[in-house]
Amino acid sequence: MRSFVFLLKVLVISLLISSSAVAQIDTARLANSLRTHLETYPEGRLQDIYKSFYQDRFGPGHLLADTSVAMYYLNRELALDSLWKDEDPFYELTGFQGNYVRVYLSCLNDSLTVQKFCDAFIRSAGLRVKLPLSWADEWHLILQIIEQHGWQMPDYERDKAMIEELLSTGDQPITHSRSYNAHYHPHYRIVTREIFEDEILPMLEH
């Protein structure tokens, strides 16, 4: 009986902490970023929203287990025909806080060389964003906002279940959906917003 009461108290305290953490999140800003994402990528799926917000939280660290091959994969991707699309953006913020920036490879020029770009990408891997709630709680808040607004997307329930299974094993990255890859050809790297604004953006403006 005592153990049951103790567990009940722990559960209540955990729920109170979680509710307090959620209250610190700007849900209006979060909803606006979700709306913008859905309008910008109408052929995207729930897993593409997950990817953008995951990147905003964790950056490119999960991609750099072996930094020695970062330049190799970058050069290989630069050779793809699908890279050079006039409608591609040069850059866009991730998630709703914009802690990181997706910088598209098509923006490389005489000033922003492959070497400088790869260096910025590698240096960006060390940052971790701290939020008052766990990634799983943040993701569940995102789902709550999507469902409250009634925003629809294909394969929603399937993707939702797949992501829940991933989360049960920890904070897991995910790939873009097949539909997103087919329609938008996402060739980019993630860099911190600070590195982007200080080092990359001036080269693009120049």
110-157 pLDDT, tens digit per residue, is 888 888 888 888 888 766 666 667 899 999 999 999 999 999 999 999
The reply to whether 91 falls in a domain is yes
Name which of 204, 200, 192, 181 is nearest 48 in CA terms.
181
Output the pLDDT for position 205.
76
pLDDT over 70 at 29, yes or no: yes
The reply to whether 126 falls in a domain is yes
Output the pLDDT for position 15.
34
The reply to whether 14 falls in a domain is no
Our count of domains for the chain comes to 1
pTM above 0.75, yes or no: yes
Output the pLDDT for position 101.
95
Q: Which residue has the higher pLDDT, 197 or 82?
A: 197
Output the pLDDT for position 171.
65
The reply to whether 2 falls in a domain is no
Confidence category of residue 22, pLDDT binned at 50, 70, 90: low
**Are 43 and 179 contacting, i.e. CB atoms less than 8 angstroms apart?**
yes
Chain mean pLDDT for the chain: 81
Name which of 56, 192, 40 is nearest 131 in CA terms.
56
Strand segments, DSSP code E, in 67-186 are 91-93, 100-104
The reply to whether 19 falls in a domain is no
d(CA 54, CA 60): 10
Poorest-pLDDT segment among 25-39, 82-96, 100-114, 144-158 = 82-96
Mean pLDDT of 3-15: 35
Whose tokens are 């938008």? That residue is 184
Q: Which residue has the higher pLDDT, 120 or 45?
A: 45
Domain coverage including residue 93? 26-205
Mean pLDDT of 92-97: 92
User: Side by side, which strands form the sheet with 100-104?
Assistant: 91-93, 100-104, 188-192
The reply to whether 64 falls in a domain is yes
Confidence category of residue 90, pLDDT binned at 50, 70, 90: confident
pLDDT over 70 at 186, yes or no: yes
The reply to whether 1 falls in a domain is no
The reply to whether 137 falls in a domain is yes
